């Protein structure tokens, strides 16, 4: 410093500036080297002012290792050229730092590469400093960086700290904390320089990074190779296949959907009632946009109405997940980057691309980083859940699309989708019988209609978009079971024979109604009340007939004039005891269809058993006999399950035989 400057300035001013730097380093202690936290470093700042100590450290520790570079004379010559250039350009930096070096000046650049191997001129011109360099472009396009020349100050610092290193060094480069030390001044935001360092790693072809160290080299890194390969990746044959596999991967298996169809043509999406609704994941070209033209709605409508060339019937079983239009382009770019890095790693490992182990490690890190970014973008892209609905306008149904976002940060995507469907009531997981009754009254049991097929109602909810979209038929069955527990909603029957309802259930807690079929019926509440009352009258009349007195033939006895009876036959003839004429035991056996057993058994309880249990003093016993035969025999798993269930249900006997 003494040989470069006659007078560095007023001592109070020098100490004031040095104190600002020292306090800045202590305030952000975790970002800078440990040595900057001591009072000794403050003294070094004061002694070396207006030159930052880091410049002297790099020149004396790194550049002095170069052949023919004289430690004192070389440093003095180099710094004299740098100071002359800064003085002429009226540089206003508080200190001359590594990030201040004007490498865009021809004299400074020539002196900088004088002791270095061949090949540094184009590296500096293109990737470190100058009006045609990438850092200059980055600073010019982002005011956060350009306001403090963050990109150029960072690349200059990396150059000074890494250019003299030998290619065969075990540990190469300069640590991130020393890059910040050489580039950031008090009052500036440290995070801006950390961000620009990441940006530079993504853009520069001669900048290398490994763990926390960075360096320039005259050999291009693999980024140029990656950029070249990225341009040749086929969208249809490579990119779309990759994206489809990654989208498929994010869905778990435990869900209520009957199927998840990722980028599936409409002809391959089943048109059935299924075990649940189907989630259709739209491809990248069918992205959701907030603009007037929405490709997502256009593609979803084609799938909604058609299955290939045939019209689709079960339209209300489809829900759609669409990509975000604004993110799709970034996703595709990231997908190409990942594929390019993955191919480079494969070629190096196979020997097709001749690179050393450091390049292989760099390629693997770049591939892993790009894959992580790709997976994150997958979640950010497919976030629009859209559902088709129908509103009636002037008496005609009109298709309406509704859309809502699913959080990209949710840990379980499929669970987040189901939660959102439940929240928006686009999918009904639990259905109250009052809603089922209202649906019946609005669409089916009106005018003089007394009953309607239950299976038809369930199937209609799968067909028509103006009806509720139920998760599965069990939700429908549960609503029926709850509805027939009281007389507030509707009646139910297993079938109908003329005017007689079979398996009639109304205000009856059966617990289960069995399986819906073509014969199952909903009965209007008022009609069910009338029918129930008629059943009660019929039963009352039947009981009255059962208790009518026994009558005898007229010639069994004759009344005399005194009102006394005399037998017309032998004196041994006796009148039978009225009570002794009643039968005292009943036995009955019936075979049930195993498919309809639940419903048929409920009918038997209602029509037969309740006749006995309604009378006091009647002892009723019911036994159930089950016989099952198989020509192939029953496997061990089935036998074990049946035996365990029989034990729990307290069967008196339960055996398998050969």
Contacts 24+ apart (CB under 8 A), 57-61: 58/98, 58/160, 58/161, 58/182
The two three-digit tokens of residue 638, written as one number = 């089935």
Burial of 30 per CB tally in 10 Å (0-12, 13-18, 19+): exposed
In whole angstroms, give the CA distance from residue 280 to residue 277.
10
Task: Give the three-state DSSP class for 82.
Answer: helix
Closest C-alpha to 449, from 490, 394, 405: 490
In whole angstroms, give the CA distance from residue 139 to residue 128.
12
What backbone torsions phi and psi does residue 619 show, to the nearest 5 degrees?
-95, 115
pLDDT in tens, 460-479: 999 999 999 999 999 999 99
| Share above pLDDT 70 across residues of the chain, in percent, rounded to a whole number | 92
In whole angstroms, give the CA distance from residue 281 to residue 172.
47
Using an 8 Å Cβ cutoff, are 338 and 370 in contact? yes
Q: What is the pLDDT of residue 561?
A: 42
Burial of 517 per CB tally in 10 Å (0-12, 13-18, 19+): middle
The two three-digit tokens of residue 174, written as one number = 């300069």
pLDDT band at 8 (very low <50, low <70, confident <90, very high): confident
Burial of 351 per CB tally in 10 Å (0-12, 13-18, 19+): exposed
Q: Evaluate if residue 568 carries a pLDDT over 60.
A: no
Q: CA 519 → CA 319, 461, 493, 538, distances in Å?
A: 31, 18, 8, 24
Q: Evaluate if residue 180 carries a pLDDT over 70.
A: yes
Instruction: Specify which residues 470 forms β-bridges with.
Output: 428
pLDDT in tens, 337-359: 999 999 999 999 998 888 888 78
pLDDT band at 58 (very low <50, low <70, confident <90, very high): very high
pLDDT in tens, 580-635: 456 778 888 888 877 667 777 877 877 787 777 766 667 888 888 888 888 878 88
Closest C-alpha to 605, from 652, 592, 595, 525: 592
Q: Evaluate if residue 558 carries a pLDDT over 50.
A: no
pLDDT in tens, 410-420: 989 999 999 99
Q: Residues near 619 by Cβ (< 8 Å), separated by ≥ 6?
A: none
Using an 8 Å Cβ cutoff, are 457 and 273 in contact? no
pLDDT, average across residues 513-532: 90
| Range with lowest mean pLDDT among 170-184, 448-462, 504-518, 530-544 | 504-518
Give the distance, in angstroms, between the CA of residue 352 and the centroid of all CA atoms in the same chain.
39
Residue 224 or residue 110, greater confidence: 110
pLDDT, average across residues 365-392: 95
Give CA torsion, residues 408, 248, 313, 462, to 10 deg.
-50
Q: CA 560 → CA 552, 564, 568, 571, 574, distances in Å?
A: 18, 5, 11, 16, 18
Q: Evaluate if residue 557 carries a pLDDT over 60.
A: no
pLDDT band at 560 (very low <50, low <70, confident <90, very high): very low
In whole angstroms, give the CA distance from residue 207 to residue 263.
39
pLDDT, average across residues 376-385: 96
pLDDT band at 579 (very low <50, low <70, confident <90, very high): very low
Q: Which is it for strands 521-524 and 174-175: parallel, antiparallel or unpaired?
A: unpaired
């Amino acid at each position: 410093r003494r040989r470069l400057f006659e007078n560095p300035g007023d001592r109070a001013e020098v100490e004031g500036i040095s104190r600002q730097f020292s306090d800045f380093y202590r305030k952000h202690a975790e970002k800078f080297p440990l040595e900057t936290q001591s009072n000794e470093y403050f003294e070094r700042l004061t002694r070396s002012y207006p030159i930052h100590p880091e410049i002297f450290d790099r020149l004396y520790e790194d550049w002095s290792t170069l052949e023919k570079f004289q430690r004192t004379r070389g440093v003095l010559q180099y710094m004299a050229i740098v100071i002359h250039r800064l003085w002429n350009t009226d540089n206003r930096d508080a200190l001359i730092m590594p990030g201040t070096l004007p490498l865009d000046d021809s004299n400074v650049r020539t002196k900088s590469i004088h002791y270095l191997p061949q090949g540094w001129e184009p590296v500096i011109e293109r990737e470190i400093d100058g009006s045609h360099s990438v850092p200059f472009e980055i600073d010019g396009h982002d005011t956060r960086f350009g306001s403090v020349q963050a990109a150029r100050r960072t690349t200059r610092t990396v150059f000074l700290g890494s250019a003299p290193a030998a290619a065969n060094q075990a540990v190469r480069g300069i640590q991130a904390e020393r890059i910040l030390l050489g580039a950031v001044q008090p009052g500036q935001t440290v995070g801006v320089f950390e961000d620009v360092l990441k940006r530079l790693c993504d853009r520069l072809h001669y900048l290398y990074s490994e763990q926390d160290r960075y360096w320039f080299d005259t050999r291009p890194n693999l980024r140029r190779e990656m950029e070249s390969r990225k341009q040749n990746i086929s969208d249809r044959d490579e990119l779309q296949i990759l994206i489809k596999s990654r989208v498929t991967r994010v869905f778990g298996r435990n869900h209520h959907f009957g199927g998840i169809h990722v980028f599936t043509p409409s002809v391959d999406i089943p048109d059935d009632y299924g075990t649940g609704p189907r989630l259709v994941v739209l491809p990248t070209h069918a992205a959701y946009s907030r603009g007037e033209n929405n490709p997502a709605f256009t593609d979803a409508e084609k799938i909604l109405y058609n299955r290939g060339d045939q019209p689709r019937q079960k339209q209300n079983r489809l829900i759609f997940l669409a990509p975000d239009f604004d993110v799709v382009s970034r996703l595709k770019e990231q997908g190409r980057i990942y594929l390019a890095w993955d191919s480079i790693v494969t070629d190096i490992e196979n020997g097709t691309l001749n690179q050393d182990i450091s390049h292989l490690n760099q390629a693997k890190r770049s591939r892993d980083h790009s894959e992580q970014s790709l997976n994150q973008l997958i979640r950010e892209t497919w976030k629009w859940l859209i559902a088709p609905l129908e509103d009636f306008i002037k008496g005609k149904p009109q298709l309406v699309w509704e859309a809502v976002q699913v959080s990209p940060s949710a840990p379980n995507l499929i669970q987040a989708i189901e939660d959102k469907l439940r929240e928006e009531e686009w999918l009904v997981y639990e259905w109250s019988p009052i809603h089922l009754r209202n649906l019946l009254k609005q669409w089916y049991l009106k005018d003089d209609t007394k009953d309607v097929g239950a299976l038809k109602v369930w199937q209609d909810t799968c067909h028509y978009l103006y009806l509720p979209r139920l998760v599965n038929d069990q939700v429908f069955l549960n609503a029926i079971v709850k509805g027939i527990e009281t007389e507030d909603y509707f009646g139910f029957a297993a079938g109908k024979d003329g005017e007689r309802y079979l398996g009639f259930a109304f205000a009856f807690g059966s617990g289960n109604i069995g399986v819906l079929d073509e014969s199952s019926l909903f009965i209007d509440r008022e009609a069910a009340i009338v029918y129930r009352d008629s059943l009660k009258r019929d039963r009352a009349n039947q009981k009255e007939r059962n208790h009518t007195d026994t009558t005898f033939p007229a010639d069994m006895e004759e009344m005399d004039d005194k009102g006394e009876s005399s037998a017309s036959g032998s004196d041994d003839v006796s009148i039978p005891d009225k009570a002794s004429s009643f039968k005292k035991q009943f036995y009955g056996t019936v075979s049930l269809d195993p498919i309809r057993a639940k419903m048929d058994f409920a009918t038997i309880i209602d029509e037969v058993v309740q006749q006995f249990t309604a009378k006091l003093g009647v002892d009723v016993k019911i036994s159930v006999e089950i016989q099952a035969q198989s020509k192939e025999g029953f496997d061990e798993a089935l036998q074990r399950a049946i035996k365990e269930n029989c034990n729990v249900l307290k069967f008196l006997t339960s055996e398998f035989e050969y």
